[in-house]
Structure 1
Amino acid sequence: MLISICIPVGPSEKFADVQITIDSVLNKSEREVELVIKMFESHLSDEIRNYIKNFNLNVRLIEGQDKGIYDAFNICAQAASGDFLIFLGCGDEFLGFRDVKDIFENKAYVNSNVIYAGVIIYDGKKYMAFDNRCFFGERRLFPWRNPCHSQGLIYKRVWFLKNIFKIDSGPLADLLHTYKHKIYKIAVWLDQDIVVFKTGGVSNSLDRSAFNRQLSGVYENCNNFKFSLGYKCLSLLICNVSFFMSKINKKFQ
């Protein structure tokens, strides 16, 4: 089994963050791994090419425009040759598997379209364990909001290409995927932490005006989904409550 790790590099990304993610893959013993990096136009292209040329790693580099992180993920998935996909953002770290053969020789995992695994969240100051099982199957407590987006999920590539991220849905692109996992019950659980997720974006904004600008896509795109009115309202309520709680926690740190 080959695993393709997909990394989108946006136009404002710093090479130091990209290097953290690349190093996390290079430092693992698994050789069943392919790295697929999508760069916006040619941003950091020279730096990345010069950095990886001395490593024995299967790497695919893609240059060109895209319509955001989820479009870049889709492009990576289409270019990948792996049986399974893992999506990482710049600054995230791949922790690897305890024994990759035990996982991908197990029929329960091989036959699953989505594998949920554990995540470590890093907020720039401390590392926190996040039990992704609360989003898995019937045990998911808050199915409308996954703070780790798609990190900690392993997608079967054949399935993903038929269910790519909807790039016209803005910040809700990963929410729609999460919702599909729940209603179709197509996922299994892997009791390992496989990713360190670096927080940021809407879920980590502490400035109200910036938060409102970033969250505007949520309000504008809610009607793209066949969710009940109560489901939509609760989603937005949770986002706003989370924002205020993050400000309160920040004051007491």
Structure 2
Amino acid sequence: MNNQQNQIQEPLLSIITVVYNGANSLEKTIESVINQSYYHIEYIVIDGNSQDETLEIINKYKNQISYWTSEKDQGVYDAMNKGINAAQGDWLLFLGSDDTLATNHIISDIFSILRNEENEEDFSLIIGSVKYSNGRLIKSQFSSRLKNKNMIHHQGAFYKRDLFRDFKYNPNYKISSDYELNLRLFLQKARYLQIDKVVTICGATGLSGVASWSGYSEEIKIRNQYLSKQESIIYGLPSILRFLIKKTLVTVLPKLRQN
């Protein structure tokens, strides 16, 4: 992980994994990081005081983990902020505890593409795709559609660490704090690089895939903070509609399958 021969000019990437009771999947996540062909990586694991065998797995790989801690937190975004505070990298990638990097050379591929871009130091965001274990492919979009909903999957996005000098994830949001960051970046016209590669294989749908009102209500609050009143109304109505559709499908589909 710390072999920096011939890598002096390469950016340092901080990969941050937040975990709580993730013993069933964490080892695969760690293996996908430490087996990367790109050596200039620091790996940070933030554990929320797990009660299963998570700490045993972390200790097994402690010599290959740059920094780790285990303590109670206020939720996933509080834990992500702890990872940000510990990070020394030029770029940050948040990798879930049930996710794996797509290939052993994906990080090398990403930074090879970045290296060939003009004024590469001006990019604030690198966006790739993610794929779920069921084969579903998610391609992120850095566009005006961000006013409507979060179009960037953070497990496939690399963020410049400098962005977090004046931004931290709001721990009061339980599902959508990453949406706040992405919307801010879009409104600030941040320079981004879109890469047509799958960065991460995701093992679960995540918090935002749950049909609960809290995620949609958080989106509405964020839009109210950053958009005009008129835009907040225009883009807020589809959020309500999406929630109703998802809630209906979650309720109705199991009944249809029983019939």
TM > 0.5 fold call: yes
Aligned residue among 200, 203, 207 for 1:198: 203
CA RMSD of aligned residues (A): 2.8
With over 3 angstroms needed to count, the CA separation of the structure-2 counterparts of 1:147 and 1:92, relative to structure 1, is farther
- Percent identity, please: 24
Partner SS state of residue 85, structure 2: helix
Partner SS state of residue 81, structure 1: coil
On the 8 A contact 1:71/1:167 being kept in 2, the answer is: yes
Partner SS state of residue 196, structure 2: strand
The runs of 5 or more residues in structure 1 that have no matched partner are 206-210
Partner SS state of residue 36, structure 1: strand
Q: Deviations over 1:193-220 (max 9, x none)?
A: 1111233345444xxxxx44xx236436
On the 8 A contact 1:118/1:192 being kept in 2, the answer is: yes
On the 8 A contact 2:142/2:151 being kept in 1, the answer is: no
- Deviation, structure 1 residue 68: 0.7
On the 8 A contact 1:166/1:173 being kept in 2, the answer is: yes
Q: Residue type matched to 2:143 in 1?
A: G
Q: Residue type matched to 1:190 in 2?
A: I
On the 8 A contact 2:47/2:68 being kept in 1, the answer is: yes
Partner SS state of residue 107, structure 2: coil
Inter-partner Cα distance in structure 1 for 2:113 and 2:90:
13
Aligned residue among 137, 140, 151 for 2:143: 137
With over 3 angstroms needed to count, the CA separation of the structure-2 counterparts of 1:144 and 1:221, relative to structure 1, is closer
Inter-partner Cα distance in structure 2 for 1:188 and 1:234:
28
Higher-Rg member (1/2): 2
**Equivalent position of 2:214 in the other structure:** 216
Aligned length: 234
Aligned residue among 85, 89, 100 for 1:93: 100
Q: Residue type matched to 2:61 in 1?
A: I
- More displaced 10-residue stretch of structure 1: 234-243 or 84-93: 234-243
Aligned residue among 155, 158, 162 for 1:158: 162
Partner SS state of residue 24, structure 2: helix
- Structure 1 length as normaliser, TM-score? 0.79
Q: What does residue range 232-243 of structure 1 map to in structure 2 within 5 Å? A: 232-243=236-247
Q: Deviations over 1:18-62 (max 9, x none)?
A: 112111112221111111000113655631333204x6x352112
- Structure 2 length as normaliser, TM-score? 0.77
The runs of 5 or more residues in structure 2 that have no matched partner are 1-10
